[in-house]
Copies of this chain bind each other. A is one copy, B any other.
Amino acid sequence: MSTIVPNLKASGEKCETCPIRHRAVCSYSSPSELSELNDAKYYRDFRPGEEIVGEQEPMTAVGSLIDGVASLYKTLEDGRRQMVGLLFPSDFIGRPMRSHAPYEAVAVTPVRMCLFHRQKFEAILRSNTSLERRMLEMTLDELDAARDWMLLLGRKSARERLASFLMILIRRRAELMKVNAEDVREIDLPLTREAIAEFIGLTIETVSRQFSLLRKQGLIGQIDRRTLSVGDYDALSTTAGDYGPLSSDAAIA
């Protein structure tokens, strides 16, 4: 799983031109604060399937996801797994103020991370108030999203779960393209059936069946293997059972 990957030294890359500069944990930092981060950071790439940090392993680095999609997992001794977070660019990976990772993080697509040595980051956190404030904000958002997810895992049917999952992707894309969620025509699926199943707490067979049903009923259509179209936004939204796009800015969602 852990192949040798080059630890890129920050070559020409500067925080100022970073694509996630305005959304990541550093987004409130002033130019002077940023330069401290700039000096401490390093980049690292991960390939699909590669483990970013292991569950219960010492966590030496934390940082921001610059590009790609990653997921967080918790696993039971007998191998049952549950995804507990789905991370997109600008989301933060790692747990400050704890020496061991409470979960496993895995790259879903090719991933580029902006990393800091954990203890160094914690030291900066302590002195850099705007970093700490943003960290608190992001953590609160993640907590909101985690609670939405608890509702899904505890109470929603398979159909509702899949619809909720698609709504997350739709909202995420709407945000990215700066349009209303209703206007999103197509969404691409960065996850395999297995990852989707682990995310929404089902088996891959059930996920597949529910996809077929939603397709048959016209809520969604197929464009190609990794892309699908939104057939009936309202029906999807209703099936998801959400109150609206609340906590849409949270990391998990």
Name A's B-contacting residues (CB within 8 A): 56, 72, 74, 76-77, 80-82, 84-85, 95-98, 100, 102-103, 126, 129, 132-133, 135-137, 139-140, 142-144, 146-151, 153-156, 201, 241, 243, 246-247
In the bound complex, CA of A126 to CA of B137 (Å): 12
Residue from A137, A155, A156 whose CB has the most chain B CB atoms within 10 Å: A155
Residues B148 and A74 in contact, CB atoms below 8 Å apart: yes
Hey, which chain B residues are within 8 Å of A72, CB to CB? 147
Residues B126 and A133 in contact, CB atoms below 8 Å apart: yes
Contact of A142 among B97, B98, B143, B155 (CB under 8 A): B143
Hey, which chain B residues are within 8 Å of A133, CB to CB? 126, 132
- Sample of 19 A–B contacts (CB below 8 Å): A72-B147, A74-B147, A74-B151, A76-B151, A76-B156, A76-B241, A81-B155, A82-B151, A98-B140, A100-B246, A129-B129, A132-B132, A136-B136, A143-B146, A146-B150, A149-B150, A150-B153, A153-B153, A154-B201
Residues B144 and A102 in contact, CB atoms below 8 Å apart: yes
This chain: copies in complex: 2
Residues B144 and A76 in contact, CB atoms below 8 Å apart: no
A196 to chain B, nearest CB (A): 13
**Which residue on chain B has the smallest CB distance to residue A78?**
B241
**Which residue on chain B has the smallest CB distance to residue A244?**
B56
A164 to chain B, nearest CB (A): 11
List 3 A-B pairs, minimum CB-CB distance, nearest first.
A154-B201, A153-B153, A146-B146
A122 to chain B, nearest CB (A): 11
A198 to chain B, nearest CB (A): 8
In the bound complex, CA of A56 to CA of B126 (Å): 33
Contacts A56-B243, A80-B155 known; list 5 others, CB within 8 Å: A76-B241, A96-B140, A98-B140, A98-B144, A139-B139
